Amino acid sequence: MLENLLLRTAIGLLIFIHVNAQNQLVEVATSPEYQWNGVALTKNGRMFAGFPRSAGDATISVAEILPTNVIKALPGGDWNTFNPINSTENVENRFVNVNAILTDVNDNLWVVDAGMIGNRTIRNSAKLIKINLQNNMVERIYSVSSLNPPEGFALNDVRIASQYAFLTESGIGSIVIINLQSGRVRRVLDKHPSTKFDAPTVVRVEGRKVLDENGEPKKMPNNNLELTPDEKTLLYKPSFSYNWWRISVADLTNESLTETQLGDRVIKGSETMPTGGTTMDNEGNIYLMDLERRAVWRQKPDGSLSLIVRDDRIIWGDASDVSADGFLYIPVSQNNRLPGFNNGVNQVEKPYRIYRIKINSALRTKSVSVLVLILIFMKFFVG
């Protein structure tokens, strides 16, 4: 508890000393009606958004955001036609509840279908979809039905390596590994504490506790993940956790290791804060969407933090992306205002927005090592 208190205090000081001469956030897109929780960019500047069904709406699920702010559903056909109220058929070939999108180095678009709406698991719908953006067509579907997912199982986010896809599963807490060539699917670390909700964390956004519909602190198991540029290390964390967990890709893909042996190779990584979304650039820097402070931080590979922006408009910054020309794109999901995160009350203010900020400017931001601040505070308060 003392360590968490010191970390929070140090982060607060970093915000205090950050000098920002002008408002750096620029609004680039709005969604008048439906929530988005992720943005993905191609090298030539195409922008895509993912639309979850956190509020149960019959939304489009994946769309391209055109320069005129026109939101165009992708890829066409029946993919965006599932209605959570009355649809039951062909869930294998339709988006049921998209929770993440990602572009890879070859400008393919990857889509994670959670396979769950609210607390209801939709059988045979959890999957990873690869869309070829040369023709905007679905190239391959990776179903996870072979896992016989238990009730409550929900895919969350994804990172793509040369041979594998790694996904967080946030309903129960685990990591899912897909061999992109063979399609073989494995689920690991489903009983390891690193993938579980880190009680008794209570997160506050906009000054209010994040509570479920029963008025209890919201529980969110394994959620955020990043893959280092060399594809050697996977980092992951529950959204409300205060640290990353690390494991080598070699160990994750070594099927001869038992669950116990694999769990023994998980390492507690650098400390952070409760985060809505994260993304990593080509140099291994992670951009953290700080929930409680409505801020964005950059965390270097050595664990040090620097503040990029703190702005009240960042109301649950979610799965962001870095553009080829050096901007960080931040979708604002307002998750904390939805009934499932707000004690059953809907306080969303439409439209939903995406902002961007030139992250190169962060190089001119005063940066202080959190470790140094913690040591100073420990000396002052603890003696």
Query: pLDDT means per 10 residues in the chain (383 residues)?
Result: 53 46 78 95 96 81 94 93 82 94 96 88 94 97 95 95 97 97 97 86 91 90 96 96 96 97 97 96 96 96 95 96 95 94 92 93 39 40 43
Residues 6+ apart with CB under 8 A from 285: 298, 299, 300, 301
All domains in the chain, ordered by first residue? 20-35+141-365 (2.120.10.30)
Sequence-ordered list of residues with C-beta below 8 angstroms from that of 309, at least 6 positions apart, any chain: 20, 24, 25, 295, 296, 357
What pLDDT was estimated at residue 373? 42
Residues 240/246/249/250 CA torsion (nearest 10 deg): -150
Predicted local distance difference test score (pLDDT) of residue 360:
72
- The answer to whether 357 and 26 have CB atoms below 8 angstroms apart is yes
pLDDT at 56: 66
pLDDT of 201: 77
- pLDDT at residue 366 in the model: 36
Q: Answer yes or no: pTM beyond 0.95.
A: no
